[in-house]
Structure 1
Amino acid sequence: MNDWVRVCATSELLPGESAVAWDGDTPILVVNLDGEFYAVEDKCTHEDFELSAGAIDGGQVECTLHGARFDLRTGEALCPPAYSPVPRFPVKLEGGAVWTRDDR
């Protein structure tokens, strides 16, 4: 298994905010949704474009390139042009920090 990557202090990621961490070559978007933390690959499955550039609303992130939306809790693609889900990653809170890793 890969080692955990520190994203930021928990106090730096307030509800509705996001941050991007890198696990090797993998960018990971971490989002605080009302105190629950979720992580998905920061790459739209329709085209290789960072999801972190898009708006986060109601547990969804929208890719600014073509408007595909993904559920941040499940990774599910919610509308075209994306049909494949984004990979999800584990998140843990430990030592006052948010951690994630690419566990594929």
Structure 2
Amino acid sequence: MSNVLLCQSDELAPGCTKKVLNEQVGDICVYNLEGTFYATADTCTHATASLAEGDIEDDLITCPVHWGQFDIRTGQAVTAPCVRHLRTYRVIVTDGGVFADIESQSVEAAAAADSPV
């Protein structure tokens, strides 16, 4: 397991995002959805834009450039012009730290990939 510290759990309020610079996998966006933390690639798959600068609506992040949306939990592109899904990361919260396992996708993304169409 290769864990990257994203933030301290008390550092990111519910409904907020944070961009974390990472040279190994590219920048990561961490989200706090009502006390549950998620992490995805920070760059929109449609346009070169930081999703940390976007708006959260329910469980969706809206790209600040062309307003396409992604499901934060699964990384799935849900509105045009976005069609390619985001890379997600499994999040581990321990001892007040929020970490991303950069070798594993989120549990929600894995479940979505396994479910029949």
TM-score greater than 0.5 by the shorter chain: yes
Contact 1:55 1:61 in 2 (8 A): yes
2:107 aligned residue:
none
Residue 66 in structure 1 maps to residue 66 in structure 2: yes
Structure 1 residue 89 displacement after superposition: 0.6
Q: Distance in 2 between matches of 1:45 and 1:103?
A: 19
Matches of 2:16 and 2:66 in 1, distance apart? 22
TM-score norm. by structure 1 comes to 0.90
- After TM superposition, where is structure 1 displaced by more than 2 Å over at least 4 residues in a row? none
Please say if residues 5 and 22 of structure 1, whose CA atoms lie closer than 8 Å, have aligned partners that are also in contact. no
Q: Would you say the 8 A contact 2:92–2:101 is kept in 1?
A: no
Structure 1 segment 1-104 matched on structure 2, within 5 A:
1=1, 3-25=2-24, 26-103=26-103
The runs of 5 or more residues in structure 2 that have no matched partner are: 105-117
Tell me whether 8-17 or 67-76 shows the greater mean CA deviation. Answer: 8-17
Give the count of matched residue pairs: 103
Contact 1:70 1:77 in 2 (8 A): yes
CA offset digits 1:52-96 (Å, max 9, x no partner): 111111011111111110010110101111111111011111121
- Mapped contact 1:75–1:85 kept (Cα < 8 A): yes
Task: Could you tell me which runs of 5 or more consecutive residues in structure 1 were left unpaired when the two chains were aligned.
Answer: none
> What do you get for the CA RMSD once the two structures are aligned?
1.4
Letter in 1 for 2:102: D
Question: Could you tell which deviates more after superposition, 71-80 or 21-30?
Answer: 21-30
Matched residue SS, 1:90: strand
Kindly, what percent of the aligned residue pairs are identical?
A: 33
Take 2:15 and 2:57, find their aligned partners in 1: how far apart are those partners? 8
